[in-house]
Amino acid sequence: MQLPERSVLVLTSLAGGDKHGYALIKDVEAFSGVVLSPGTLYGALARLEEGGFVERLDADDRRYPYRLTPAGRAALAERLAESARIASLGLRRIALAE
């Protein structure tokens, strides 16, 4: 499954620990500057949950925390490694061109 950018942000946030919606939005905004809307966030969470990458935990004061599953962790690691490889290649080429 090809992970969209927003899903990568959500998975990266959940890699730091279980979070509910509001904490996810604040965390993603803090580390990436991307401001997610509730619709976008839950659209991404729905796809990730359907794909088995995250799971919803029991409600905690009317809020449901989400947790990264082992499959989600593996998918995130693979996607970030690919991004790192492309970033490294791009940076090398820029350095050669200068």
Partner 1 sequence: MDRALAWVLLLYPRHMRRRYGQEIAELTRDLIRLERRSRVRLLASLAVHGLGCRMARFARTRVATAVAVTTSVACVAFVNMGAASAKPPTPHQATVQVRAVAHGPAGRADGWWTSHRAVVKHGSGLEPRAARR
Q: Which is nearer to partner 1, 46 or 91 (CB)?
A: 46
Q: Is 93 in the site for partner 1 (CB under 8 A)?
A: no
Cβ atoms of 92 and 82 within 8 Å: the answer is no
Q: Which is nearer to partner 1, 33 or 39 (CB)?
A: 39
Phi, psi of 13 (to 5 degrees): -65, -45
Q: Which is nearer to partner 1, 8 or 23 (CB)?
A: 23
Cβ atoms of 53 and 72 within 8 Å: the answer is yes
C-alpha distances out from residue 16 to 34, 58, 77, 85, 95, Å:
17, 19, 13, 22, 33
Report CA Rg, the chain. Answer: 15
Shortest Å distance, C-beta 66 to partner 1: 10
Q: Which is nearer to partner 1, 61 or 98 (CB)?
A: 61
* Binding residues for partner 1 restricted to 18-77, rule: CB under 8 A: 20-22, 25, 37-43, 45-46, 62-64
Q: Which residues contact partner 1 by CB under 8 A?
A: 20-22, 25, 37-43, 45-46, 62-64
